[in-house]
Amino acid sequence: NWVPRKMGLQPMVLESQVRTLGKPSIFTTTPANTTPIQKSTRSEPLQYTIQVGAYKTEANANQMVSNLLEKGYRARITPDTKNGTPLFKVHVDKFGNKKQALKLTKKFATEENLSSFVTTTSSN
């Protein structure tokens, strides 16, 4: 049974229940020995490619590649994983500079009605 609390009453605290806290502990930390990060020197020039899709099944990626090959594009599948799930990315061509790659993304948008974006790739 619930009984409403009477107004104006203070909770009763016994002195044996009260304890005084001492000074807080102060922790000091020392940074771990770290070595500066060095920029990697590439022996190969950076290359760019166009990604036109990423598919959960290889069959869907193969269909996209077939369509692009029929139209004369150099398309390939790059297998990858995302959160442990296989992913099949479809890339088109390789370029020495980003400006050339961007031209193809515009062509895909206007002539093929296909969204795409520029990404980097290894040169092999």
**Domains detected in the chain:** 47-121 (3.30.70.1070)
In this model, does residue 107 exceed pLDDT 70?
yes
What integer is the mean pLDDT of 27-39? 59
Summarize pLDDT for 1-23 with one digit per residue, the tens.
555 655 665 555 555 555 555 55
With 0.85 as the threshold, say if the pTM is over it: no
What integer is the mean pLDDT of 88-115? 94
* Per-residue model confidence (pLDDT) at position 45: 74
Exposure string for 13-35, b = 16+ CB within 10 A, e = fewer: eeeeeeeeeeeeeeeeeeeeeee
In this model, does residue 101 exceed pLDDT 60?
yes
Mean pLDDT computed over every residue of the chain: 80
- Judge residue 67's burial from the number of C-beta atoms within 10 Å of its C-beta, 0-12 exposed, 13-18 middle, 19 or more buried: middle
What integer is the mean pLDDT of 45-64? 94
Enter the tokens of residue 85.
């799930």
85-95 and 47-55 beta bridge pairing: antiparallel
Check: CB of residue 95 under 8 Å from CB of residue 111.
no
Which of 41-50, 105-114, 115-124 shows the highest mean pLDDT?
A: 105-114
